[in-house]
Amino acid sequence: MSDRAAGSGFAELLRELKDRSGLSYGTLAKRLHMSTSTLHRYCNGDAVPADYAPVERLARLCKAGPEELVELHRQWVLADAVRGRKADAPEKQEKHEKDEKTEKAAEVVVTAEPVPEPVPESEPVAEVVVGPGVAGRGRRVPRPALLAGIAVVVLLGAAFAAVRLPSGGTDEKNAGPAGATAAAGAAPHRTHRSSTAPTPGSSAASKTPSASSSAPAAGPAEDTATAGSSPTADDGTAAPPLTVNTQPYSWENPCSQHYLIERAPADVAPPPLESDATAWVTAHQAVSSGEQYVTLTVQGSGTGSVVLEGLTVRTAERSSPLAWNDYAMGYPGVGCGGNVPTRSFTVALDAMRPAVVPESGHRDFPFKVSESDPEVFYIRADASAYYVGWYLELSWSSGSRHGTLRIDDKGRPFRTSGNNGRPAYEFPLGGEAWRTASSTG
């Protein structure tokens, strides 16, 4: 198969799936977290995705069958190999040119071998009188001997000065900028530990301030903490001037919320209300399926305002989707829907570097909060090809202080897993047991 045929076969399959779905390029691109022009290039054969995850997500959105998924993956492998060969050609040429330049430079270096500078062995550097009253010039002392003598004198002087220093080993009167710099370097990095309440058995006596807390700081204090920190940290320093209330199991709407559980339907309780979702998830050790909707309420805790500079996604673990049963929270036949609230963001967890992206038409960071003016953020993170453990980092600044606040599920990463091909169950309204989900909807 030629390179052109391999690339066109992959693009042709993508176009067939797109046309069959009845969705526009813009709608598909938005759900795939990519630009419309990029999706056009994939379907036209002008570009090949470097990662298979967006290809699989596109196929799933277009209701591709198992055989189509296998063929699509095969075509992507062939197209990716063609793309690699095309990219290697200019790189090999560039490497060949660099090797030629390196060889020529080596020849010049070998040809222009430096000539060692001659050093006279008995060059006179000083004249010393042999003894008192001796007339005439003394014998000449070679340079090495003179240098050795100077070194001995310097060492003797240093030893004498060390004997005269106080027992503390530091001359406080002569302490200058060097001492101040050392003290500044000893200033502790202010790290706050997660604490909404003290752990059982803990004692306030363990909160010992750092011995170097009186040292001058070298610059603005940088604080790292976990959401929900107390007003003071264990080292006695002030906590970040803001609080974050995290709801890791919010529902955008019941129809979109699913959970993966490693239990048979007979062992799973009926769907809870959204207000009881956290307890239900904990009892069943469930994992958000397909997507997770996290609500963050950020509020200042001091007199001044706090600038929220940005949210960063950190991936703690990544693996294949969990092979558990999928349970839907919505009741079949009951309508769902609603407007997207302001301050809404999306996270594509399948991406190699997931990022917090504002919903279309919504503002991006920075924001400003205070005690009387909080902000509520809605984060919708979706996964299709992987199981992902993740958390967020909120960068903030207030006056001369700045730092980072970790946001997670009570000290543990959020957990979201793809659910493609997993056994799906639904709970009929007014029913008494879970049943196999219908293929419609």
Which two tokens mark 410? 């009570």
| Residue 58 pLDDT | 86
The pLDDT of residue 278 is above 90:
yes
The pLDDT of residue 112 is above 70:
no
Write out pLDDT tens, residues 74-100: 888 888 887 766 655 555 555 545 555
Bigger pLDDT: 278 or 86?
278
Rounded Cα distance between 403 and 381, Å, is 24
Residue 298 phi/psi, 5° resolution?
A: -110, 130
| Residue 40 pLDDT | 86
Which two tokens mark 262? 């490693």
The pLDDT of residue 266 is above 60:
yes
Bigger pLDDT: 383 or 302?
383
Indicate the average pLDDT of the chain: 74
Residue 71 phi/psi, 5° resolution?
A: -65, -40
Task: Name which of 413, 181, 432 is nearest 294 in CA terms.
Answer: 413
Write out pLDDT tens, residues 390-416: 999 999 999 899 999 999 999 999 999
The continuous run of DSSP H or E covering 287 comes out as strand 287-289
Residues 185-190, mean pLDDT to the nearest whole number: 40
| Residue 270 pLDDT | 93
| Residue 407 pLDDT | 97
Q: Among 80-84, 179-183, 223-227, 426-430, which range has the highest average pLDDT?
A: 426-430
| Residue 78 pLDDT | 86
Q: Among 31-35, 87-91, 337-341, 343-347, which range has the highest average pLDDT?
A: 343-347
Where does 3-86 sit in CATH, by number?
A: 1.10.260
Q: Give yes or no for a contact between 312 and 291, defined as CB atoms under 8 angstroms apart.
A: no
The pLDDT of residue 139 is above 80:
no
What CA dihedral angle connects 266, 267, 273 and 276, to 10 degrees?
170
**Stated length of the chain:** 441
Rounded Cα distance between 13 and 17, Å, is 6
Residues 301-322, mean pLDDT to the nearest whole number: 94
Rounded Cα distance between 373 and 304, Å, is 11
Q: Name the 3-class secondary structure at 44.
A: helix
Rounded Cα distance between 371 and 301, Å, is 5
Going from N- to C-terminal start, the domains of the chain cover 3-86, 242-436
The pLDDT of residue 149 is above 60:
yes
Rounded Cα distance between 51 and 316, Å, is 20
Fill in the amino acid letter for 70: V
Query: pLDDT confidence of 376, banded at 50, 70, 90?
Result: very high
The Cβ of residue 387 has, within 10 Å, a number of other Cβ atoms equal to: 20
Q: Name the 3-class secondary structure at 401.
A: strand
- 187: CB partners within 8 A, 6+ apart: 212, 215, 216, 217, 218
Write out pLDDT tens, residues 44-76: 988 888 888 888 888 888 888 888 888 888 888
The pLDDT of residue 124 is above 50:
no
Is the full-model pTM beyond 0.95?
Answer: no
